[in-house]
Amino acid sequence: MKAFSAPGKALIAGGYLVLDKQFASYVVALSSRMHAVVEGAHTAPEESNTVITVKSPQFLEGEWSFVFDHSSETFTVSEVLGRKNPFVEYSILTMLKFINPQFASKIDITIFSDSGYHSQENVTVKKSQSKQFAYHTAKITDVPKTGLGSSAGLVTVLTTALYSFYISSADVTEKQHLESIHKLAQVAHCQAQGKVGSGFDVAAATFGSIVYRRFDPSLINELKSGVNKSEDSQQIQDLVKQDWNIRNDRVALPSGIRLIMGDVKGGSNTPKLVQKVLKWRAEDPESSEIYSDLNTNNMKLVDSLSEITKAEQDDHFSYAESLKQIGNLNTYEILKSTNASIKPFQDLIKATLEIRKNLQIITQRSGAEIEPPQQTQLLDRCNEIKGVLSSVVPGAGGHDAISLLIEANALENLVQAKKEDTIFDKVEWLDLTEQEYGIIIENVDSYKEFL
């Protein structure tokens, strides 16, 4: 038995631009993780079916069982309980094609999902010493999502579990294996979704917090069903060997800086927002200039974070002093300061404000509510709180969530602000922190009470 987990994400810079492979984005992996516990064995030589059962016990009817008949001429699986879960199905199918197993196996995988992914109404929480999971009374398709990328987390961790079963000697946290798992999970996720997105969510689930630049969509779009199994398998193996030329530079927030997510209990339809933005992008002659300015400031934000990290490495003492100062000032006051040591923090703030200005322009021109006026008001108000460095609408924006970078001790100021100002009535500060790593190997024992 082995166990793994993969994190959720927030795209704090690069929404929409990340769809285009000339632009990079900044993705933070979050502490809400998807977990998989896997156990399996090869079955008797006369057995011709591989049976892979995936249980997700926190949800009603959360069990899917797929049978792969080795004697069949194509890679097809049938679900025997009469249920659908395309993300589970394509994770299995992609791995079967990649491995082209010659022996039948029985594999049992149990999925556990941390509470950040789903709305926590009507749940019963079960706890062990080191883990806790929320049990819902509805099916996975009926529980409202929060936007952390549950399907990407699921596909990534399921792919990892299957990969480690079939290639049992692999240390899945090694670069070469992580890269293979990433490609297999991207293929499965795109095929299950029926579209090739930017893939930043699968990349963060695999690699953790990164500066990400996407792969060429044609890599996945050009996959075709071959005439036989060996052709299908060869195609996936070749694809995994190929260099996808993505950017996945590992990043971590500077010490003393925390990411805070605020759920605004709204909800937005990402595909509709994307549709409106792409239409505007194609029609407005000034859209290239706006994208270019947005990109310049996204990269300034990335640079300012590295500058802040460097400042800490250069001189711990004066860094601690700068942190203390910014913890006592709000965004606007930090901008006014003449103290040279806080310049990288000022650069971060300036870049964020420019990013927001461009997102507001796109909102007005495209009609896609990326940073609608209610969110502008809320973000501006956040910037008045001491210790807040930047506040943005992450990802596709809209009415899903806000994300803030703050001086780590300023969380209490946010909690206090929520008590004092009704603008924060709809905001819930979430208990999430940044995660440096994507896929990690977990201790199996910590799940035993839940199995």
Ligand X SMILES: Nc1ncnc2c1ncn2[C@@H]1O[C@H](COP(=O)(O)OP(=O)(O)OP(=O)(O)O)[C@@H](O)[C@H]1O
**427 closest CA partner among 415, 441, 443:** 415
- Alpha-carbon gap, residue 237 to 166, rounded angstroms: 14
Q: Which stretch binds ligand X (CB under 6 A): 23-31, 141-149, 167-175, 295-303?
A: 141-149
Nearer to ligand PMV (CB atom), residue 18 or residue 161: 18
Query: CA–CA distance from 315 to each of 255, 303, 305, 322, 346 (Å)?
Result: 13, 18, 16, 11, 18
Tell me which of ligand PMV, ligand X, none is bound by residue 141, counting a contact when its beta carbon lies within the kind-specific cut-off of 5 to 8 angstroms.
Answer: ligand X
Supply the minimum distance, in Å, between the C-beta of residue 10 and ligand X.
10
Which residue of 6, 13, 18, 257 would you call a contact of ligand PMV, by CB under 6 A? 18
Which residue of 15, 116, 149, 398 would you call a contact of ligand X, by CB under 6 A? 149
Supply the minimum distance, in Å, between the C-beta of residue 16 and ligand PMV.
5
Q: Which stretch binds ligand X (CB under 6 A): 122-130, 149-157, 213-221, 429-437?
A: 149-157
Tell me which of ligand X, ligand PMV, none is bound by residue 248, counting a contact when its beta carbon lies within the kind-specific cut-off of 5 to 8 angstroms.
Answer: none
Residues in 88-117 at the binding interface with ligand X, rule: CB under 6 A: 111, 113, 117
**383 closest CA partner among 359, 409, 404:** 404
Query: CA–CA distance from 391 to each of 60, 131, 259, 268, 355 (Å)?
Result: 37, 31, 10, 18, 11
Read off the tokens for 333: 């006051």
Tell me which of ligand X, ligand PMV, none is bound by residue 85, counting a contact when its beta carbon lies within the kind-specific cut-off of 5 to 8 angstroms.
Answer: ligand X
- Alpha-carbon gap, residue 346 to 336, rounded angstroms: 9
Tell me which of ligand X, ligand PMV, none is bound by residue 206, counting a contact when its beta carbon lies within the kind-specific cut-off of 5 to 8 angstroms.
Answer: none
Strands, DSSP E only, in 114-256? Answer: 123-127, 132-136, 210-213, 247-250
Q: Which stretch binds ligand PMV (CB under 6 A): 193-201, 251-259, 280-288, 305-313?
A: 193-201
Which residue of 107, 154, 334, 389 would you call a contact of ligand X, by CB under 6 A? 154
For position 342 contacting ligand PMV by CB under 6 A, the verdict is no
Nearer to ligand PMV (CB atom), residue 236 or residue 396: 396
Supply the minimum distance, in Å, between the C-beta of residue 11 and ligand PMV.
5
| Site map (CB under 6 A) of ligand PMV, residues 251-290, x = contact | -------------------x---x----------------
Tell me which of ligand PMV, ligand X, none is bound by residue 117, counting a contact when its beta carbon lies within the kind-specific cut-off of 5 to 8 angstroms.
Answer: ligand X
Nearer to ligand X (CB atom), residue 133 or residue 215: 133
Residue 38 phi/psi, 5-degree rounding, is -125, 140
| Site map (CB under 6 A) of ligand PMV, residues 393-412, x = contact | --xx----------------
Query: CA–CA distance from 251 to each of 46, 407, 436, 441 (Å)?
Result: 50, 18, 7, 20
Size of the site for ligand X (CB under 6 A): 17
Supply the minimum distance, in Å, between the C-beta of residue 164 and ligand X.
19
Residue by residue, DSSP assigns 39-108 as EEEE--TT--EEEEEEE-TTSBT-EEEEEEETTSSS--EEETTS---HHHHHHHHHHHHHH--SS-EEEE
Tally of CA atoms within 13 A in the half-sphere of 280 that contains its CB: 22
Tell me which of ligand X, ligand PMV, none is bound by residue 200, counting a contact when its beta carbon lies within the kind-specific cut-off of 5 to 8 angstroms.
Answer: ligand PMV
For position 147 contacting ligand X by CB under 6 A, the verdict is yes
Based on the number of CB atoms within 10 Å of its own CB, is 376 exposed (0-12), middle (13-18) or buried (19 or more)? middle
Contact (CB, 8 A) for 37 and 109? yes
Nearer to ligand PMV (CB atom), residue 189 or residue 258: 189
Cβ within 8 Å of residue 42, ≥6 positions away: 103, 104, 105
Residue 107 phi/psi, 5-degree rounding, is -125, 130
- Alpha-carbon gap, residue 187 to 272, rounded angstroms: 23
Tell me which of ligand X, ligand PMV, none is bound by residue 15, counting a contact when its beta carbon lies within the kind-specific cut-off of 5 to 8 angstroms.
Answer: ligand PMV
Tell me which of ligand PMV, ligand X, none is bound by residue 395, counting a contact when its beta carbon lies within the kind-specific cut-off of 5 to 8 angstroms.
Answer: ligand PMV
Supply the minimum distance, in Å, between the C-beta of residue 27 and ligand PMV.
9
Sign of dihedral through CA atoms 112, 115, 118, 120? positive
Query: CA–CA distance from 382 to each of 133, 318, 402 (Å)?
Result: 31, 26, 10
Q: Which residue has the tokens 């870049």?
A: 351
Which residue of 4, 7, 8, 11 would you call a contact of ligand PMV, by CB under 6 A? 11
For position 54 contacting ligand PMV by CB under 6 A, the verdict is no
Read off the tokens for 396: 């596709």
Where on the chain is the footprint of ligand PMV (CB under 6 A)?
A: 11, 15-16, 18-19, 147, 197-198, 200, 270, 274, 395-396
Where on the chain is the footprint of ligand X (CB under 6 A)?
A: 56, 62, 85, 87, 111, 113, 117, 140-141, 145, 147-152, 154
